[in-house]
Structure 1
Amino acid sequence: MHARRPARRRKTNDGAMQHRAARASPPQDGGAIPVPRLESLVFHAKRGAHSARELSQPPALRYVAALRSAMREPQSTPGDIQHEDDHDRKLRLARFVAWHLLRSLRSTTLHRRRRRQERQAIARADRGRTPRHGASRRGQAEHVEAAAHRRRGAAHLEGHAERRWQHDPSADRTVDHVVGNHRRARQSQHSRTRRRAGAGHDRRRAREMKTSVLALTAAVTLALSAMCANAGEIIPVVTDDPGEGYNDPTAVAPVGGNPGTTRGEQRRIVAQFAADLWGAVLQSDVPVYVGAQFNPLGPNVLGSAGATFVFSDFAPGIQADTWYSSALADAIAGSDLNPGFTDIGSQFSSDFTFYYGLDGNTPAGQVNFLDVVMHEFGHGLGFQNFENEAAGTFLSGRKDIYSVFTYDNTAAKFWPAMTIAERQASALNYGKVVFTGASASAGAQAILGDRTAFKVTAPASIAGEYEYGTAGFGAPISPANFNGTVVIATDAADASGPSTTDGCSPITNGAAVAGKIALMDRGTCGFVIKVKNAQNAGAIGAIIADNAPGTPPPGLGGADPTITIPSIRVTLADGNTIKGKLPGVTVGLTVDPTKLQGADDAGRPRLFMPNPVQGGSSGSHYDTATFPNTLMEPAINSDLLSTLDIDITPNLLKDTGWTLNPGGGKIGDCDTGVPAVTNVGIIVGAHIQAYNNVCLTGAGNSRAKYMRCMNDHIQSLYADGLITRNQQVSARTCVARFLQP
């Protein structure tokens, strides 16, 4: 019987979105088992801030020190695993690409034309196959073995249900999740980012990683030739209708190194660039297929992605009775465990104004599409668990490799060892759940800054660190300007606000508040009104206590250039704790150089576990407290630069079973000598490898244009201090050798 295809989101005639299972069957039998729908992972917009120093420098210069100090770690390669016959794999993958392209056609005429092209192309491929003794028997045996693996250990993840963030209905006039990174961005003035050299000095070269310039809307014959020439690629497969999404024909000017001249073409180039970056960072002999489309996703949702299938017990040496995402399972097994299906499903919002440049120079008011795509592809590659946090249950009652490393410091247990009730509680234990993988922990200790904490210093009964959110207005919070005694600010209960502690009217106990830190309750009026009233009464700072339960405490939204005092937000529970000990409470901001921002005291990176659970975000992201900001937080930050730096994302993927590329970025068969990825996530070598394909696309058939494009780009990397003189010479030599007659 044919395996069911993943449910995918399609447009109805009235523009509404609904899940609909595709009825077409691929030209392969499959043994995947349909399982309950798993929520996909979503990436949200969040405002960020650069320091004046950062804005005055080219973005790439922020990474010079790390590049000069980071050393590559020795990597291991998969064990002795039986590989599928190369000819059989290429033919099967070619058939899959042909089938997938055909499935999206709507016109009967085009459908018939492409059907003929598919049959002709496959017939030509079959005629061109070199006969080998025993090849058919070997291929049949491997097909049977793969089918057996699928029957006993494959699960189909149906659908991609996004979590839609809604505007905060309160009168505070802010979307809570949007204002979350001001504290971390502003900590740069008193936090030191540490990127230490790794211990590994092994210069072993990995097996060749080839990345093609596969056009996302290529004809079947082009897909055949590209697939037969390359292996181990990440290939976006567009499922948008003609004229929309990745096929949007709107004319645009090239931007930021992206040579596309239509919006759809620029989107496809960014998607392939992201795929090429990940393809250069990770090692796999099996192509990874990513379903790609644009759809309206709701307010503040930028994109969603996740694995379409998971597998267990498919190869020797892996964790028994444990789910692995499709792309990772294929990489470990060395063969496609579920041919004819995409490995990752991804979709992106058609409602946002994205920046489609490849240089990281995102204009104000736009969102960097490359950062979003890199984030979403990261989820599909394995940065996700397969657990329902609200219910406390694993997918089909079986743990996943991501959760094997998920540890609760309060319960002192790993998630697989917990009961359902314990996992439910752990999923709400903000700040106390960490990822314990050795590589992720080493990366965190190399790149995370010193911990900046809001502390109650007296009385001793409530002294300690408390979570906090910062404001998008007023003075940036620092140890120098946020220390003092806390006093409740009172005001009249009137039309501006019904409470005497909401700060919505002029403060009535100004003498008590002057020179102190004013504590007020959230509600009724905007944050800027509360803080301005406290400032007018002489307060040196303000604390807004939430009026509803939940963690982490979001930031404070609003704008008022006349506000000059710092302010923060704390949870309802923490606000009540402080109120219960007044008077006599003193607070301050401290920097602890012995601990890391966004990690536990043992240096293990924290995972995002908000209360209440946020479906599609809880558990499968790094915590929003990390600083510097990381690619795999649940919200995008303006200081990301995924074209060159993906921080400790590959470290976590390595812990789950991926092999990272220990060699240099390649141009064709030529190693540039620039590390594809370092142990702190710098990916300049991968960037060069991916940009080579961009230059090929923009140059058409002109070798001179291609060489000029690449040499200019390599020169800019050298000028910014991102590669050494020797690496520049090596890369230019590779360019000269490429496409030689």
Structure 2
Amino acid sequence: MIRRGLLYSALLAAGLFGAMSASAAEIKIVNQDIGTGQGLDDHTPATPVGGNPGTTFGQQALNVFQFAADIHGAYLKSNITIVNNATFEPLECDATGGVLGSSGPLEVFTFDPTSLPAGAKANIWYTVAEANSLANQDLSPAEADIQSQFNGALGQPGCIEGSKWYMGLDHQVPAGQIDFLNVVLHEMSHGLGFLDLTDLSTGEDFPGGPGSFPNIYGFFVKHNGTLWDDLTPAQRVTAALDDGHLAFSGATVIAEAPLALGQPDVYRVTAPAAAAGDYLYAQASFGPTATAANFSGAVVQATPNDGCAAITNASAIAGKTALIDRGTCDFATKALNAQAAGASAVLLANNQPAAVTPGGTPTSPVNIPVILVSQTDGNTLKANLAGLTGTVGKGTGLSGTNADGVLIYAPAVLSPGSSFSHYDTRLTPNAIMEYAISQDLRGEIDLDLGPALFQDIGWGIDRSNQLLLTCDTGIPKLVPGGMIIGANVIANAKILAANAADVGTYRAGVRAYEAQLAAAGLITAGQASSLNACLSDAETAKQYAAFGPPPAPPAIVLANNIALNNQKGAASATTAYQLTVPANAKTLTLRTYGGSGDVSISVTDPKGVVKAQPNRPGNSEPFTATKPAAGVWTLTVKGEKAYSGVSVLGAYTL
């Protein structure tokens, strides 16, 4: 028996705040914003950026979604298409922070021992996408698998003000912008299975049938050496709040941790003796990165303590590290006030148990480093201010780990949607599956320990070389530790082909991309040679035929001076109409009129010359010519917005 549980609407959406052999997974994006003019259907003009060729906000966002889908699909194995619904909505936020996105599976499934697919565990909940892959069938063919939404209010008054989404695919993120690709990769991972189903307020398993069942993510979690599933519900409630003692213990994650993680970043106090030692910290998302060169020396408490007004003890602060309490105002304001007072660095002390990454959009550049220590550590430092001196450096051991494995996020105050279903913020470098976005993430080339966790929970993982159709690039899709250069190759090839006007344009674009990989040292000389062999004229022609835009549908034939009524189309969609004009025609009219929505037109003459037409509001769009050339004239109608009831007319006079 296969049991099903309806999940998404009832439980959670984790947010950022003998089987047949399986092929690479296909992840299909369903645009739920069609017809709204917002989010993925937003026609606001946009300039192509960072490898994203879209010319509207909505098209750029869809491109990012598909790029993320191609990356995850390259290394995951499944013969069943994964359907990911996507939309933009206003999500919870305030002027300085908030939810960037949320995502989760729409259903979960368990298998009993009589219907157990190879590689699956009995009576364990799996997300629908993974259950489909294990069962090698679509267990819910009428439904999507993942539901995702992203913050459509970002940058508006009252929602992370001054920020905006960065839609590039290259991580060249300007100050004050947020890398949308990293957020989409993160949220898609939740839908694929990087989340727990336990009710953390009660400790109870997600119910199903006559009882409840554990889930595959929690199956690998340990608390102080004890498996999560062996804890009582009351013990789980306590364990979920035990910061630093909850870890993912899967064998693949543990084996790859030394490849993905380094020594932890610490603030090292050298005096006084009562405070000497290493203190973990969070790096601010703005300003320069803290180093021993720019974050060292004496520490002075700022006045006022919260740094929300002009610093009144500037003479004592100048040239030193300003110790400032969290609270009352945003982090950027505190940093700018300390900078104005002449501080060389800012050391923030948390005012609550929950961890946070200092963020915000400064009104002017922050040129000094800013870090934050925990509430407990901050209290220790404030109690030993006399002669307090320290610097930043590297601690001992492997960051973000304990004896059980790699730490997962367990703040002392429960954070629904964030607690438990993310890696801990102690991981260094930062991980794509931490609860908060970090400026140093490179999800387009490095998914760190996310794929390792997927392998532990039972996903088939493809670590073979990436193919461009049948041509071996010599570049692995995924290597231990999370580098995904091969997956990046196929994602870039597909987006370049889909947006190239012809095979020559595609060929030039993919060759330039290969040169960038080589120049950045992301591929070896041998891999560059193998990839180049896949970029010959013959190979790129085949790739363009497979990945390029679909051929245009046949044009609709117009009869002279007979209107076609009730024409309709979606926003951004185009429809071609053709009229054959005889020799010696005196005039030609091609036009649209009537109906609702908004269309634009362009006209192509028999020689292939495009006669671009300025777009008018609404659907009245005319083109006229005198003594038109004989032959086939093409009228292309584009939906600037979704339209219906439009009439299309072609007429000539002799």
**TM-score, normalised with respect to structure 1:** 0.61
Q: 2:218 aligns with which of 394, 397, 403?
A: 403
AA in 2 matched with 1:280: A
Contact 1:503 1:521 in 2 (8 A): no
Q: SS of 1:291's equivalent?
A: strand
1:710 corresponding residue in structure 2: 510
1:403 CA displacement: 0.9
1:311 corresponding residue in structure 2: 109
- Residue 370 in 1 paired to residue 172 in 2? no
1:655 CA displacement: 0.9
Contact 1:479 1:588 in 2 (8 A): no
More deviation, 296-305/477-486: 477-486
1:438 corresponding residue in structure 2: 251
1:235 corresponding residue in structure 2: 28
Distance 1:481 1:603, change over 3 A: farther
Q: 2:427 aligns with which of 599, 615, 626?
A: 626
Q: 2:144 aligns with which of 339, 342, 348?
A: 342
- Alpha-carbon separation, structure 2, partners of 1:573 and 1:689: 47
1:724 corresponding residue in structure 2: 524
1:597 corresponding residue in structure 2: 399
1:309 CA displacement: 1.0
Q: SS of 1:638's equivalent?
A: coil
CA-to-partner distance for each residue in 1:135-192, whole Å, 9 max, x for gaps? Answer: xxxxxxxxxxxxxxxxxxxxxxxxxxxxxxxxxxxxxxxxxxxxxxxxxxxxxxxxxx
1:634 CA displacement: 1.5
Distance 1:502 1:456, change over 3 A: farther
Distance 1:477 1:254, change over 3 A: closer
Counterparts of residues 350-389 of structure 1 (less than 5 Å) = 350-352=152-154, 353-389=164-200
Q: SS of 1:332's equivalent?
A: helix
1:254 corresponding residue in structure 2: 48
Counterparts of residues 25-424 of structure 1 (less than 5 Å) = 32-34=4-6, 37-44=10-17, 80-81=18-19, 209=24, 232-242=25-35, 243-299=37-93, 300-313=98-111, 315-316=116-117, 317-352=119-154, 353-396=164-207, 397-409=212-224, 412-424=225-237
- Alpha-carbon separation, structure 2, partners of 1:693 and 1:263: 20
- Alpha-carbon separation, structure 1, partners of 2:464 and 2:377: 49
2:409 corresponding residue in structure 1: 608
1:97 corresponding residue in structure 2: none
1:257 CA displacement: 2.4
Q: Cα RMSD over matched residues?
A: 4.0
1:420 CA displacement: 1.6
Percent identical: 38
CA-to-partner distance for each residue in 1:366-412, whole Å, 9 max, x for gaps? Answer: 22222221111111111111122233222113211111121223xx3
CA-to-partner distance for each residue in 1:47-83, whole Å, 9 max, x for gaps? Answer: xxxxxxxxxxxxxxxxxxxxxxxxxxxxxxxxx13x6
Specify every segment of 5 or more residues in structure 1 that has no aligned partner in the other structure, as ranges.
Answer: 1-29, 45-79, 84-205, 210-231
Contact 1:356 1:368 in 2 (8 A): yes
Contact 2:295 2:392 in 1 (8 A): no
- Alpha-carbon separation, structure 1, partners of 2:441 and 2:285: 19
AA in 2 matched with 1:689: I
More deviation, 628-637/464-473: 464-473
AA in 2 matched with 1:451: P
- Alpha-carbon separation, structure 2, partners of 1:312 and 1:710: 43
1:417 CA displacement: 1.3
- Alpha-carbon separation, structure 2, partners of 1:629 and 1:521: 24
Counterparts of residues 500-519 of structure 1 (less than 5 Å) = 506=312
Contact 2:302 2:323 in 1 (8 A): no
Q: SS of 1:636's equivalent?
A: coil
1:429 corresponding residue in structure 2: 242
AA in 1 matched with 2:472: D
1:564 CA displacement: 9.1
Distance 1:288 1:504, change over 3 A: same
1:562 CA displacement: 12
1:290 CA displacement: 0.8
Q: 2:450 aligns with which of 637, 646, 649?
A: 649
AA in 2 matched with 1:290: N
Contact 2:125 2:213 in 1 (8 A): yes
Distance 1:509 1:420, change over 3 A: farther
Q: Say which one has the larger Rg.
A: 2
More deviation, 478-487/361-370: 478-487
- Residue 451 in 1 paired to residue 264 in 2? yes
Contact 2:302 2:322 in 1 (8 A): no
Contact 2:297 2:391 in 1 (8 A): no
Q: SS of 2:406's equivalent?
A: coil
2:564 corresponding residue in structure 1: none
Q: SS of 1:616's equivalent?
A: coil
- Alpha-carbon separation, structure 2, partners of 1:529 and 1:586: 24
Counterparts of residues 507-546 of structure 1 (less than 5 Å) = 545-546=349-350
Q: 1:694 aligns with which of 479, 495, 513?
A: 495
Specify every segment of 5 or more residues in structure 2 that has no aligned partner in the other structure, as ranges.
Answer: 155-163, 546-654
1:485 CA displacement: 8.3
1:212 corresponding residue in structure 2: none
- Residue 734 in 1 paired to residue 510 in 2? no
1:661 CA displacement: 0.9
More deviation, 310-319/290-299: 310-319
1:618 CA displacement: 1.1
Distance 1:639 1:517, change over 3 A: closer
Q: SS of 1:346's equivalent?
A: strand
Contact 2:264 2:427 in 1 (8 A): no
Contact 1:521 1:544 in 2 (8 A): yes
1:414 CA displacement: 2.0
Q: SS of 1:311's equivalent?
A: strand
- Alpha-carbon separation, structure 1, partners of 2:340 and 2:496: 58
- Alpha-carbon separation, structure 2, partners of 1:357 and 1:324: 33
- Alpha-carbon separation, structure 2, partners of 1:563 and 1:710: 38
2:471 corresponding residue in structure 1: 670
1:241 CA displacement: 3.0
